[in-house]
Structure 1
Amino acid sequence: MTMLASSSPHVTDRPWPSQASFATARTRMVGPDILRSLAILLVMLVHLPLEATPAALVAVREYGWLGVDIFFVLSGYLIGTQLFKEIARTGNVDFKAFYLRRAFRIFPAFFMVLGLYAFVPLLRDAPTMQPLWKFATFTVNLGFDPRQGNALSQAWTLAVEEQFYLVLPLLVLLLYRRIGTGRVLALAATLTLAGIALRYTIWDSQVGGLVAASQFRPAFATYLRDIYYPSYTRLDGLLFGVVLAAARFFRPDLCKRFLPARVTMPVGLTFVAAALICFAVRGPLEGAGMFPVFQAQLGAVAGFPLISIGVALVFCAMLDLEHILNRWPVPGAVLVATLSYSLYLTHKSVFHAMRLLLGEENLQGATGFLLYLTASFVVAALLWFCVERTALHLRDRLLSPSR
């Protein structure tokens, strides 16, 4: 996920500070760190086997996939803001610099982990995986059938974002000064409705018949392949993140007037609650034993835009409340947010390795959960120190304005 490796210099690109530089750490934005930390912890939880999940977290685990949608919204906002600042300042987009920044931020750690998956099969969290070229080209989410290989499956989200950011700079350049506020909102509404219609059509033609025949597992795999993973059905979060960035950057007065925190926070939470209700409607899937992400048409079709709008509004409120959040920072949020990309890449293989070393029976309950968390953070810290931070320093040297 690009959000896990955000390009905003005051959010994650700056190396995690030591205690000696705590004053520098305070320049970080608290709101994004909190949401990013929440998102990665939810993603880690949803990939944890049920039998290894502490009883208190079982109910939360079923909705852990929501972390992905949080990442999409945050990523759309942060990358959108970066592009808007550049084009407003220069009237142009430096495509070379943009893609180089993305490459230095994403590629080193990702290809390090992909190489380990390729050449050390023992580390794979599942027996089989998709073809390596699909990972290397960030197209693994297209036609991704989990029945044909599920190792490193979390890379589908990174593929969605990389495809989106391949075209976003060009769209920003083409639409800048050519489209007003009303048309932006109309375009966002059109894309949202198109996504709803597309998911409905795919469900009706590909998934619904299998559900009606009580073939739940084939239906679940088809749903993942044709609705949950593809970029063209999962643009809601990124879209509303970019729209929020455009609104706050180009129309700050309108945002202040019509989107104050006292409005966006309760309305956003209402949208999130509405989405969860949609996903909680089991319908014919009651008792099927699948994650709530796999629902009847109501959740699969309408739930994703609802959760994306809700998260975007809550995030908007948190940005406005930054001065308050900064007074009461969440302990550990900076650390978790900084390591989030490395955690995202390695957490599944870490649990698999621990299962081989200790036995899954020793990874159950609170003690096993703490062992898993500790190992995950140790491995993520190593990847961050040895690969991520080195690549960031090299990028900053190569792309320094003084050069």
Structure 2
Amino acid sequence: MARQIRGDIQGLRAVAVAVVIAAHAGVVLLPGGFVGVDVFFVVSGYLISSLLYREVLITGEVSIGQFWARRARRILPAATLVTVVTVLASLAYMSLIDARQTVVDATWASVFAANIHFAQEGVSYFASDISHSPFQHYWSLAVEEQFYLVWPLMLFGVLMLTRLATGRNPQRLPRATVAVLLVVVIVVSLGWSIHQTVASPTTAYFSTFTRAWELGIGALIALVPTSAIKRLPRRDLEAMAAIGAAAVITACLVITSATPFPGIAAILPVGGTALLLLAGHAHGVTAVGRVLSTEPFRIVGDWSYSLYLWHWPCLVIPQAALGRTLSAFEAALAILVTVTLSAYSYQYVEMPFRNGRPAHRLPRRRALVLYPASASLVLLVAGGAWLWTGVQANDNDNPAITVDGQTGTPQVDTVALVRASVNAARSRQGIPGQTSPSLIDIKKSVADVGECDYQQNVRKLCQVGVEDGTKTLVLIGDSHARAWIPAFDLINQAGDWKAYYFVKPQCTAAHVPIAALGSDERFTDCSDFQDWVMEQVRYLRPDLVVVSSSPPVNGVFDGDRRVATTEGIIPLLRVGYDELFLELQSAAEEVVLLRDVPKNADDPADCLTTGDPSLGDCMFTPVPRSQILGDVAVESASAIGVRVVDPTPWLCYQGECPIVIGNTLSYRDSDHITTEYAANLWATLGRAMRMIPTNGIPDPTNPDEAVAGGSEG
């Protein structure tokens, strides 16, 4: 076991951080550069376990407090500095909404639970948009810190059990027992990783349980006696190092964002790193090791922690400020800033807490105070940032747009209010001071689906609406259909309907095989869901089926070929809608297509909460692709005899779509209407759907009218 960090390991760290930064900066030759994180995991498992094993050999025990204190001095100072600076930079350069979310992310990062947070949020590490969190890279720090928390306790437990079994303190490391424990952890974790990579890719990527085997591999290598490696012929060590280096390089070149990961694919970079560590485990220097031990590699390896911390916010925050991905020159400039910041933080933050005056003043267990101190500082900054964003979001007294003094009720003319809102935007009026939802909460405006969240592959029926309603409604579609649920909830109450909402995000309603988001693979869960939905419709025999769906985002399949062009999608989508409507007509009394809403090219939330925008700055014209593919559904429905309800006049006027209608925010993102605006449209939609009378209906949003209506019925 090495008594100091080997030069080849520092070089390996340099390679790992370099490929991660290159991949994140958009270097096309290294699509799999993100596997550098897996290299870090193996190296961390190796180094940390080497320290723990050596302590057992010297003292016969593990000092958990001292171990955690060393980790605190090593990790917390630089991580805290980057966290605080990132929060402040986010306030300065990001929209209020993104900055507020950054505050939440920083809080999770400060307690080393970022991986849990991003998994719960359903964040895609490989998302192609620019809305990444500046703290997304902290997920790997969280995994390592969770490992540092648990692994010493497990090793301590092994020593205690050995002591109980033998009746005395172990004089040497119980290698066989530790090896068995590590093999079990590795096998179980790898198996879980392979399973979860297929079953729940987002969770699999961020989960400590799916990554524990990578750290365990490093810990297992550290357990190998150096004498066993010394007995190997020189040519075998050279071959191990060469094969290991080739495996890591190959992983960076051939693994892509479309590769299911970690799972089986992670074996390539992890195995390569393991071979490189083994080849130098007995202090022998291979040809690869000599290259990795050269001064440039060692310097980058020394800075690798700071480089990793700084690179992501240096890339993400400028993207958010510019509202687009960085050009090659801009990305290079961001990397230059990263290197500069890393050099300073390594010299003036990392090193002092490791070997300088702060390290001497915080010896051993006293350094544990860094954990609460770091969290407290971050929470203090985050709390202030949270309050500041809330104040900024409501810092004006601009009036709402009205028609005859009304901003949006069942009695107001919806089309007239939209027209007035467009005219207000054209005249560059300011954003109303009080909006529904509030600007800061716009992203939270998502309809609740209760227990029947079909995004999670639930297979059950959930009846809503009037429990013993005389008529049955079925709503079918994707997240765009889900956005209409608040309107249908009110329509159900006013019109005596019981309802079932079969909505699955990203699953286009048309019976056509679609590609999963961000992948070249089929979205098989969608096809399975469509089959199940048709079974339920045939069973329910509803009075009305409403179809509402967006076009496929990532293309459709023609046989085994993915088709992504608009021209190629049109005929396949038309066939899919024809099949859907014909099947529904045979199982329901009536079928209605609720045409898809117009799509914005940009996220209106960014416009509304960046700088000092007017209504005109955030008004948009619909994206042509969405309009064209929306016409396909309309043409199919019209040809088959399915009635079409077009909500465009309730959202746009003369080809322009305001983001604020009255005092209500109409869209929560580029293509989903807010729950509040959907609820405002309940009467307009209900009449268009012929689900409620054209007049004289009780208003379920008004308790007095709802009670009166119920008593009259």
Q: Deviations over 1:274-322 (max 9, x none)?
A: 78889999xxxxxxxxx725425xx642222443233111122134433
Change (3 A) 1:385 1:196: closer
Q: Distance in 2 between matches of 1:198 and 1:168?
A: 19
Q: 1:155 aligns with which of 134, 138, 146?
A: 138
TM-superposed deviation, 1:202: 2.5
Tell whether the 8 Å contact from 2:19 to 2:34 is kept in structure 1 after alignment: yes
What is aligned with 2:302? 338
Residue 50 of structure 2 corresponds to residue 76 of structure 1:
no
What is aligned with 2:182? 188
Q: Distance in 2 between matches of 1:395 and 1:292?
A: 41
Change (3 A) 1:227 1:175: same
Residue 209 of structure 2 corresponds to residue 232 of structure 1:
yes
Q: Distance in 1 between matches of 2:264 and 2:245?
A: 12
Residue 17 of structure 2 corresponds to residue 40 of structure 1:
yes
TM normalised by structure 2 equals 0.42
Residue 87 of structure 2 corresponds to residue 85 of structure 1:
no
TM normalised by structure 1 equals 0.71
Residue 131 of structure 2 corresponds to residue 169 of structure 1:
no
TM-superposed deviation, 1:96: 1.9
Q: Deviations over 1:81-136 (max 9, x none)?
A: 11111111111222222111111111111111111222331367976435333111
**1:2-401 counterparts in 2 under 5 A?**
10-11=4-5, 29-48=6-25, 50=26, 53=27, 58-60=28-30, 62-121=31-90, 122=92, 128-129=101-102, 130-144=104-118, 145-146=122-123, 150-176=133-159, 178=162, 181-206=175-200, 223=201, 225-247=202-224, 251-257=225-231, 262-267=235-240, 270=243, 292-296=256-260, 300-319=262-281, 320-322=283-285, 325=289, 329-352=293-316, 363-364=327-328, 370-392=332-354, 393=356, 394-399=358-363
Tell whether the 8 Å contact from 2:115 to 2:206 is kept in structure 1 after alignment: yes
TM-superposed deviation, 1:400: 7.6
TM-superposed deviation, 1:271: 6.8
Change (3 A) 1:108 1:381: same
Q: For residue 188 of structure 1, give the secondary structure of its aligned residue in structure 2.
A: helix
Tell whether the 8 Å contact from 2:187 to 2:213 is kept in structure 1 after alignment: no
Q: Distance in 1 between matches of 2:309 and 2:321?
A: 20
Q: Distance in 2 between matches of 1:359 and 1:131?
A: 20
TM-superposed deviation, 1:343: 0.9
Deviates more, 1:127-136 or 1:319-328: 319-328
Which of the two has higher C-alpha Rg? 2
Number of equivalent positions: 335
Tell whether the 8 Å contact from 2:105 to 2:133 is kept in structure 1 after alignment: no
Change (3 A) 1:189 1:279: farther
Tell whether the 8 Å contact from 1:30 to 1:322 is kept in structure 2 after alignment: no
Q: Distance in 1 between matches of 2:256 and 2:83?
A: 29
Change (3 A) 1:235 1:362: closer
Q: Distance in 1 between matches of 2:364 and 2:251?
A: 48
Q: Distance in 1 between matches of 2:336 and 2:156?
A: 44
Q: Which runs of 5+ in 2 are unaligned?
A: 125-130, 163-172, 366-713
| Higher percent of residues as strand | 2
Tell whether the 8 Å contact from 2:93 to 2:321 is kept in structure 1 after alignment: no
Change (3 A) 1:10 1:256: closer
TM-superposed deviation, 1:350: 2.3
Tell whether the 8 Å contact from 1:138 to 1:159 is kept in structure 2 after alignment: yes
Q: Distance in 2 between matches of 1:279 and 1:33?
A: 19
Amino acid at match of 1:137: V
Tell whether the 8 Å contact from 1:38 to 1:67 is kept in structure 2 after alignment: yes
Q: Deviations over 1:154-182 (max 9, x none)?
A: 10110000000101112222224948555
Q: For residue 280 of structure 2, give the secondary structure of its aligned residue in structure 1.
A: helix
Change (3 A) 1:137 1:326: same
What is aligned with 1:217? none
Coordinate RMSD, CA, aligned: 3.6
Change (3 A) 1:348 1:91: same
Change (3 A) 1:193 1:67: same
Tell whether the 8 Å contact from 1:192 to 1:305 is kept in structure 2 after alignment: no
Q: Distance in 2 between matches of 1:323 and 1:267?
A: 9
TM-superposed deviation, 1:263: 2.9
| Higher percent of residues as helix | 1
Q: Distance in 2 between matches of 1:84 and 1:92?
A: 9
Change (3 A) 1:277 1:329: closer
TM-superposed deviation, 1:197: 2.6
Amino acid at match of 1:262: R
Q: Deviations over 1:49-89 (max 9, x none)?
A: x3xx3xxxx222x1101211111111111111111111111
Identity of aligned residues (%): 25
Q: Deviations over 1:133-153 (max 9, x none)?
A: 311111110151326962221
What is aligned with 2:496? none
TM-superposed deviation, 1:191: 2.5
TM-superposed deviation, 1:242: 0.8
Change (3 A) 1:277 1:381: closer
Deviates more, 1:119-128 or 1:336-345: 119-128
